[in-house]
């Protein structure tokens, strides 16, 4: 596709939105509903450009600085490990945080394992809900795995960003979040967690507990 080839240029953004818009403009083909195909194609094209992971990770500080400048009120945080390599990243959307009181007083948090071979980490996401109960991304973090420390770091950054976690509940599934809540309590930071009943039912089915109860009944 000429539109795809024209969008993949060394030194320029390879964001999905840019690629999709370029292909739609030049080819008249809408790939908006095929993110897996687009990401796979972008990855293969970038491999041919021989762009090293070191170069791409090196662009993160500049990207985060630019994001915070363009989006006032946003919080960005990038941490490196002892060898100066990428460790974890946090980003909140200042425009959304500023109108959080107009949203439903509830948050959702979850972790998603990343699949690209260049980064085998986890994406932590805090979602809000608008008046129509649509999910609204508020904050995101990339960490190496779901640990108590990483969740505590994520929630603490949310608080620093001005996200209200004290006076509204945060729904989550089972995991390390409860440990993070206990750790934050030691720091004097309040977090109001609730667990989703659907996840409990799913876990009970997985353990065959519901089947055993039904059999007894």
Give the model confidence (pLDDT) of 114-170 as tens digits. 877 677 899 999 999 998 989 999 999 999 999 999 999 999 999 999 999 988 899
Judged by average pLDDT, the poorest of 81-85, 112-116, 185-189 is: 112-116
Q: Which CATH architecture has domain 57-204?
A: 2-Layer Sandwich (3.30)
Residues 173/199, Cβ–Cβ less than 8 Å: yes
pLDDT at 202: 58
Sequence ranges of the chain with CATH classification 3.30.420? 57-204
> pLDDT of 43-75, one tens digit each?
777 666 666 777 778 888 988 999 999 999 999
pTM (two decimals) = 0.71
Average pLDDT, the chain: 82
Determine the length of the chain: 217
- CA-only gyration radius of the chain, Å: 20
SS3 of the chain: the string is CHHHHHHCCCCCCCCHHHHHHHHHHHHCCCCCCCHHHHHHHHHHHHHHHCCCHHHHHHCHHHHHHHHHHHCCCCCEEEEECCCCCEEEEEEECHHHHCCHHHCCCEEEEEEEECCCCCCCCEEEEEEEECCCCCEEEEEEEEECCCCHHHHHHHHHHHHHCCCCCCCCEEEECCCCHHHHHHHHHHCCCCCCEEECHHHHHHHHHHCCHHHHHHHHC
Judged by average pLDDT, the poorest of 28-32, 117-121, 185-189, 196-200 is: 196-200
Distance CA 13, CA 90 (A): 20
Q: What is the mean pLDDT of residues 164-192?
A: 88
Phi–psi pair at 20, nearest 5 degrees: -60, -45
pLDDT at 205: 61
Give the pLDDT band (50/70/90) at residue 87. very high
> pLDDT of 93-117, one tens digit each?
999 999 999 999 999 998 888 877 6
Residues 146/175, Cβ–Cβ less than 8 Å: yes
> pLDDT of 6-41, one tens digit each?
555 555 566 777 777 767 776 777 877 878 887 777
pLDDT at 150: 96
């Amino acid at each position: 596709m000429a539109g795809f080839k024209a969008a993949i240029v060394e030194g320029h953004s390879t964001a999905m939105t840019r690629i999709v818009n370029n292909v739609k403009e030049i080819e008249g083909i809408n790939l908006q509903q095929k993110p897996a195909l687009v990401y796979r194609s972008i990855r293969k094209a970038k491999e041919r450009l021989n762009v090293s992971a070191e170069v791409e990770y090196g662009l993160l500080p500049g990207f985060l600085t630019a994001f915070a400048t363009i989006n006032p009120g946003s919080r960005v945080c990038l941490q490196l490990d002892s060898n100066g390599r990428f460790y974890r990243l946090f980003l909140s959307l200042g425009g959304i945080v500023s109108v959080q009181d107009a949203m439903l007083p509830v948050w959702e948090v979850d972790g998603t394992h990343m699949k690209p071979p260049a980064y085998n980490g986890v994406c932590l996401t805090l979602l809000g809900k608008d008046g129509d109960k649509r999910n609204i991304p508020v904050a995101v973090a990339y960490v190496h795995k779901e640990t108590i420390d990483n969740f505590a770091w994520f929630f603490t950054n949310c608080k620093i960003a001005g996200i209200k976690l004290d006076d509204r509940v945060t729904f989550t599934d089972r995991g390390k979040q409860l440990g993070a809540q206990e750790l934050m309590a030691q720091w004097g930071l309040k977090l109001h967690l609730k667990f989703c009943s659907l996840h409990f039912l799913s876990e009970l089915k997985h353990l065959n507990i519901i089947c055993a109860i039904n059999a007894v009944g």
